[in-house]
Every structure is written in structure tokens, then in C-alpha cells.
């Protein structure tokens, strides 16, 4: 009897010990899990901590996959976009020569005919010249070897010298001097050596589209009314054909040439008006940037720098801005008054000021300023 009691007591003690050990072990596991959680949270915060992190950085990080997709799609579709620009422009020119020019020669006065011929062909030459130069001219790239370059940083992607105002293009996979942006409609970067060609193409293309829209407004109204009349007559003709009797005759139909003429005029006006609005807004945007002496990328950088200095009670000044008028003279390469004719109003392949590696004061700038460090 006593032996049974002893065995029972021993078993009970063992059970109590196991319960105590299990409870201690469970508490120990919970404490270890909490410690691991706090340690991992601390490591993650220490790895991701950045005093410059803000909403823009978080948004850029979230959109990084979208940027990667756009970069790779743009790289492959650049040729398609260039072919689209050439095809649409050629179609407008063909419609003007085939459909509108004979009508102009028959109805307009000699003075208006001379004006349309002179302005239209000058605008077309300027568009073709600047677009060809924009897509074939290299924007400029920094040398791979450091050589005698002073005051340059190192590109984190190229691992090569990166002069002031130079940025890396993820589509071209190269650094570009004074990079503004990568234009898929050019299949090329817009940089130091072809920035003027790009802006001039946008400007003259907008002017040409506005010219076609204004000149063809009356023709567009007549063509649109004729198309609506064609639809109505076609409907009446089908109704007559369905209920035809011996004394009824179907209404007259338009010929294929008439249909093609009216639809071509409508196509021309709609396309030119749409391009004038979209490209005109882009041209005004770049004109404002040129007036301030900065590129699209520098505007973003300068805005952040301006906000940072403003918090410290300081004023930011763009070191590459020489005043509105001088900024335009530097951008267009106007050194003497006659250059406004030979270099702006006529096709000119002249090079921009400087090499894009250093930014000395151009000779056409009238106001001398003290040199500043590059931003």
C-alpha cells in the first residue's frame, strides 16, 4: 500500500516538474520570439534609415518597377515612334500638296498664294532639318577616363567621371552631358549637343500645325458638313432601295474622289489641331525652362535645393542662369545680331557654347557674375 502511495507521489512530482518546465520553456520561447522581433525591426530600421527620406523618395521607390518597364519598352519602341512621326508628317504634307494646294492656286489671290507658298515651305524645311539633326546628333557623353577633368563626381552606374549637369540615362545606359530627358519620339537623348535641335523642332512643328489648323478651318467645316450630308444621302438611298417603285429614283451619290477629299481635310485638321495643343504645351514648358536656364532634371533638383535653403533662411540662385534674355542667347548660340537670322530663322548646324564638360561664362553674356559651385 505504501509502495503504491510512494509511486503515485513520485509520478505527481514528475508531472508537476514537467508542467513547470513546459511553462518556463513556453515563456522562454515567447521571450526569444519577442527579442528576435525587436532585433529584426531595429535592423530593418537601421538599414532603411535615411534623414533625406520623404514622400517623394517613397513614391519613387514604389514606382521603380513602372520606371523599369517604361525604360525597356521605350528602348525597343523608339524606332516605331520615329517611323510614326515621319509617317504622320508625310501624310499631312501629301494631303496639302494633293488636295489643298490646287484649291489654293485656283481660289486665292496672287499675294495670298505667295504667302502660303513661302511660309509653308520655309516651315516644312525647318521641321525636317531640325528633326533630322535631333535624331542623328549625339547628345554628348563624358570621356571614360578622368584625364584633366576637375570638380567631377563618379557615376554610380557607369563608374566613370560625371561632370556637372551630367546625368545617367537608364534607357541609353550611358551618361549624357547636360541631359534634359530621353525622348522616345527621337529615339535619342536630349542633351548638350542636340537640345537646340529638339526645341526648334517642337517650336516649328507647333507653328506648322497651328498654321494648318487656322488655314484649313473653313475647309474643315465644309468637309465635315459634306460628310454629314453624305451619310444622310446614303441613308436615304438605302431607304429608297428598300421601297423602290417605278417612279422613284435614288438620290445622287458622292464619288470616291469626293469622299477621299473631304475625309482627308477632316483628318488633316483634327490631327494638326491635336498635335498643336499637345506639342504646344510641351514647347511652352521647355521655353520656361530655357528662360530659367535649367533642364527638366535640374528643375527637380533646384526645387529641392531651393526648399532646403529656404528652411535655413538662405536664397538659392541657379549658377547656370545668366538672366532670361542671355539664357536664350546662350541656348540658341546667338553671339551677334545677325545670328538671329542665320542661326535661328534659317537652318544652322552650329555647335552650342562649351563642351559640356565645364561651364565657363559664354562670350555673349552681358552681365558678368561670380562663379559658383555646380549644383
- Residues known to be catalytic: 183
Element (H, E) at 183: strand 181-183
CA 183 – CA 188 distance, rounded (Å)? 6
Element (H, E) at 168: strand 167-169
CA angle 243, 245, 250 (to 5 degrees): 75
- Residues 6+ positions from 202 with CB-CB distance below 8 Å: 279, 282, 283, 286
Burial class from Cβ neighbours inside 10 Å (0-12, 13-18, 19+) for residue 335 reads middle
CA 287 – CA 195 distance, rounded (Å)? 12
Question: Do 345 and 203 meet the contact criterion of CB atoms below 8 Å apart?
Answer: no
| Residue whose entry in the numeric block shows the C-alpha cell 584633366 | 148
* DSSP track, 18-56: HHHHHHHHHHHHHHHHHHHHHHHHHHHHHHH--TT--HH
CA 286 – CA 226 distance, rounded (Å)? 40
Question: Do 362 and 354 meet the contact criterion of CB atoms below 8 Å apart?
Answer: yes
Question: Do 212 and 123 meet the contact criterion of CB atoms below 8 Å apart?
Answer: no
Instruction: Please count the other Cβ atoms lying within 10 Å of the Cβ belonging to residue 66.
Output: 9
Q: Return the half-sphere exposure (C-beta side, CA atoms, 13 A cut-off) of residue 96.
A: 20
CA 81 – CA 70 distance, rounded (Å)? 14
**CA-CA-CA-CA torsion sign (291, 205, 346, 116):** negative
* Residue 99 backbone phi and psi in degrees, to 5: -100, -45
Amino acid at each position: 500500500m505504501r509502495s503504491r502511495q510512494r509511486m503515485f507521489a513520485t509520478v505527481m512530482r514528475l508531472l508537476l516538474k514537467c508542467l513547470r518546465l513546459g511553462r518556463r520553456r513556453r515563456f522562454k520561447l515567447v521571450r526569444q520570439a519577442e527579442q528576435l522581433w525587436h532585433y529584426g525591426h531595429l535592423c530593418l530600421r537601421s538599414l532603411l534609415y535615411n534623414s533625406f527620406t520623404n514622400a517623394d523618395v517613397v513614391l519613387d521607390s514604389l514606382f521603380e518597377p513602372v520606371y523599369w518597364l517604361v525604360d525597356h519598352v521605350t528602348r525597343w519602341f523608339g524606332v516605331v515612334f520615329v517611323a510614326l512621326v515621319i509617317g504622320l508628317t508625310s501624310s499631312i504634307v501629301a494631303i496639302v500638296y494633293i488636295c489643298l494646294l490646287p484649291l489654293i492656286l485656283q481660289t486665292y489671290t496672287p499675294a495670298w498664294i505667295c504667302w502660303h507658298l513661302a511660309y509653308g515651305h520655309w516651315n516644312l524645311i525647318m521641321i525636317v532639318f531640325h528633326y533630322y539633326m535631333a535624331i542623328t546628333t549625339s547628345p554628348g557623353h563624358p570621356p571614360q577616363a578622368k584625364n584633366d577633368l576637375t570638380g567631377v563626381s563618379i557615376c554610380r552606374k557607369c563608374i566613370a567621371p560625371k561632370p556637372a549637369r551630367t546625368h545617367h540615362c537608364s534607357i541609353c545606359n550611358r551618361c549624357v552631358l547636360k541631359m534634359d530627358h530621353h525622348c522616345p519620339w527621337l529615339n535619342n537623348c536630349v542633351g548638350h549637343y542636340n537640345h537646340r535641335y529638339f526645341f526648334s523642332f517642337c517650336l516649328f512643328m507647333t507653328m506648322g500645325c497651328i498654321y494648318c489648323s487656322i488655314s484649313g478651318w473653313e475647309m474643315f467645316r465644309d468637309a465635315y458638313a459634306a460628310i454629314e450630308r453624305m451619310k444622310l444621302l446614303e441613308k436615304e438611298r438605302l431607304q429608297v432601295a428598300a421601297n423602290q417603285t417605278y417612279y422613284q429614283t435614288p438620290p445622287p451619290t458622292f464619288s470616291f474622289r469626293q469622299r477621299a477629299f473631304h475625309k482627308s481635310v477632316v483628318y488633316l485638321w483634327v490631327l494638326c489641331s491635336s498635335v498643336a495643343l499637345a506639342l504646344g504645351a510641351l514647347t511652352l514648358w521647355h521655353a520656361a525652362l530655357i528662360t530659367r536656364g535649367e533642364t527638366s532634371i535640374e528643375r527637380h533638383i533646384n526645387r529641392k535645393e531651393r526648399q532646403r535653403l529656404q528652411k535655413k533662411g538662405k536664397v538659392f540662385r541657379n549658377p547656370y542662369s545668366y538672366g532670361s534674355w542671355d539664357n536664350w542667347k546662350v541656348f540658341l548660340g546667338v553671339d551677334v545680331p545677325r545670328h538671329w537670322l542665320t542661326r535661328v530663322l534659317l537652318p544652322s548646324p552650329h555647335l552650342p557654347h562649351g563642351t559640356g564638360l565645364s561651364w565657363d561664362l559664354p562670350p555673349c553674356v552681358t552681365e558678368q557674375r561670380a562663379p559658383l559651385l555646380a549644383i
